Structure 1
Amino acid sequence: MTTAPPKNSPWSTPMRLPPLGLSFVAASLEKAGFKVELLDNYILKKSNDELIKLVKKLNPKIVGITCSSASYPVCVESAKIIKEAVPQCKIVVGGWHPSYVPESMLKHTEIDYVIMGEGERAMVELANCLKKNLTEKEISDISGLAFRKDQQIIKNPQNFISNLDEIPFLARHLLPINLYEREIPFLNVKPVDTMNIVRGCPFRCAFCETRRLWGPGCRAFSPRRVVKEIEYMEENFGTKGIYFLGDNFTIDKKRTIELCDNIRKLKNDLEW
């Protein structure tokens, strides 16, 4: 889930865009056989009372919450509410803020685990461990996981996914897709949907945090995989335009040209 927007914060996202990272994690859990519900409370803005009713109704085994520095207080508040409503539920947080300062999350006893960086593989491994009631030792071997042990906080090094094509398409079907702003000022079509197809950066800009979250290299979904997802979005969500997000879309000239050529071959009027 995402949290409700930060209260009285100038750092709220002005555009209503779907949570891509959370949707990747949800899709990976579905692929692994788990039943997943996705609550984008940044859009739905459910009250605390509504959130309590929902979690009591669903009675989840695990709740994952994505967190930024701006939404940190709301994230902690949500974790406390969920833990009080369903005490046996495991609370896992991820996102930019927990990836950098997992200690700030784990000092709150309501939060059981932190996933630092990429969450697709780590979240599936953690969910499988919890499902099978494995011991702390098996759980403690998960890459990118932070957790409490003997009054200390353990932070496992990340192991980045080398082949991004193993990640399934975003779980857009779990989102209230029509509540998002599916238009971009510089595209003349709608609906427009977002995609993030590149992760990581080889550069060392002092002001940037990308390397910490996504790693020092630059990895990308293959052009063939990207085009397949575009076709899926056109068929299932009526997508007419694509807004590509990411840090280094054009860093690999050969791959960029191949992708653009493949998109142009699509028999439609897609804009991007």
Structure 2
Amino acid sequence: MKSKRILLVFPDVSYDSLHRGYFHYGLASISAYLKSRIKDIEVTLFHIRDKNLSQGHFREKIRESLPHIIAFTSTTHSFLLVQQYAKWVKDLDDEILTVCGGVHVTLNPEEALTSPTLDVVVCGDGEYPMEALVNEWIVNKRIPNEKGIWYRKNGKIIDNGCTVVADLDSLPDSDWQLFDYMNLDAPKQGLGGIMLSRGCPYHCSYCCNRKLANIYKSSQASYIRFKSVERSISEIKNFIGKFPTIDTLYFDDDILPLKQKWFFEFAREYKKEINKPYWCNIRPNLVNSKIVEALVNSGCTRAGIGIETGNEGIRNEILKRGLSDKTIIDTVSLLKERSIYVYSFNMVGLPRE
């Protein structure tokens, strides 16, 4: 058994009985980073898909891996579950350090630390804080006073700001095999997800990106970061090498052609080196005939766009999308003329509907 043991917990519950689970880019990146930086470390994953998970089953998983640190990722809708799971950890062994990261606690670190069974909250990118926690907690039983690590001390919350990985090329490839990858929902259908960037420059009112961008301002790095084209192609090749039955890729970036110069170079290299069909997300106001041509030539078969509502007033006055009906219609027409299937993200029950 390795001398440093970490259990990552992904609450991925669903009311769909056929749900096989999703891939989590953040946890896979943290796992890969820790394994590349720390000797004699064991990182395991508890991928929770059962909404009726029992305390007994949870304890069995802990006894199997005997972790020094249990780190949860949380969105807002899963945070109640995380608090329950953290209580189960402390009921079993109070010496295990409980850590929580993810979007919810990055947006609300003080609130998250009102939960008495969470010892640490990680604000921002998790790779660097988790390395510091592993090195300090397991060896010295001390919570390090490092960037991105929030904790309680003498009844006060220690605020260490937000951490950001400025150069995504400096990170290793994701630890895809942390997951039972080929049995997840999308890979089971031959669809493999890749993320080449972090961040979005837009400030839609309903989206966490606008507040995340403000939080990340405390660092010296840009919130919007892309891997280099060379690194992106290398990672995709490695991914395909591990999972050769994947026949279509899905780029899970907020907006793949956000930086046009980068995208044109990427599209050329992707066609030359990869040449597989792919899906991606785009934003209508950034699309023109040259972008569409590059999408088509590089193998894009599906493009997702955020329409959100058919009412232009609600879309722009309430949701702050900054997209006219005409822009959306013109973009969809351009894509469909070149036989790119378009799917849209939409919300119902908005104010004024």
- The TM-score bracket by the shorter chain reads 0.7 to 0.9
Q: How many residues align?
A: 259
Stretches of structure 2 lacking an aligned partner (at least 5 in a row): 1-8, 280-353
Stretches of structure 1 lacking an aligned partner (at least 5 in a row): 185-189
Deviation of residue 149 (structure 1)? 1.5
Aligned position for 1:187: none
Question: More strand per residue: 1 or 2?
Answer: 2
Residues of 1 paired with 2:53 and 2:198: CA distance?
Answer: 32
Q: Write the letter of the residue equivalent to 2:10.
A: T
Deviation per CA, 1:226-246: give whole Å up to 9, x if none: 111111111111232211112
Q: Which has the higher contact order (CA 8 A, sep 6+)?
A: 1
CA separation of 1:267 and 1:202: change in aligned 2, threshold 3 A: closer
Deviation per CA, 1:193-219: give whole Å up to 9, x if none: 112211123344433321443636311
Residues of 2 paired with 1:237 and 1:16: CA distance?
Answer: 17
CA separation of 1:245 and 1:43: change in aligned 2, threshold 3 A: farther
Deviation per CA, 1:23-66: give whole Å up to 9, x if none: 11111111122210012113797532111011022110001001
Residues of 1 paired with 2:274 and 2:125: CA distance?
Answer: 34
CA separation of 1:199 and 1:268: change in aligned 2, threshold 3 A: closer
Matched, 1:163 2:163: no
CA separation of 1:97 and 1:246: change in aligned 2, threshold 3 A: same
Higher mean alpha-carbon deviation, 41-50 vs 246-255, is at 41-50
Higher mean alpha-carbon deviation, 67-76 vs 243-252, is at 243-252
Residues of 1 paired with 2:251 and 2:100: CA distance?
Answer: 26
Residues of 2 paired with 1:230 and 1:221: CA distance?
Answer: 12
Q: C-alpha root-mean-square deviation of aligned residues, in Å?
A: 2.5
CA separation of 1:43 and 1:176: change in aligned 2, threshold 3 A: farther
| Equivalent residues of 1:67, 1:94 under 8 A apart | yes
Aligned position for 1:196: 195
Deviation per CA, 1:109-146: give whole Å up to 9, x if none: 2211000121111111221121331655xx11x11111
Aligned position for 1:96: 103
Matched, 1:27 2:32: yes
TM-score by length of 1: 0.86
From the CA coordinates, give the structure whose radius of gyration is larger: 2
**Which aligned segments of 4 or more residues in structure 1 are displaced greater than 4 angstroms?**
43-46
TM-score by length of 2: 0.67
Matched, 1:209 2:214: no
Residues of 2 paired with 1:211 and 1:163: CA distance?
Answer: 21
Identity value in percent: 24
CA separation of 1:208 and 1:99: change in aligned 2, threshold 3 A: same
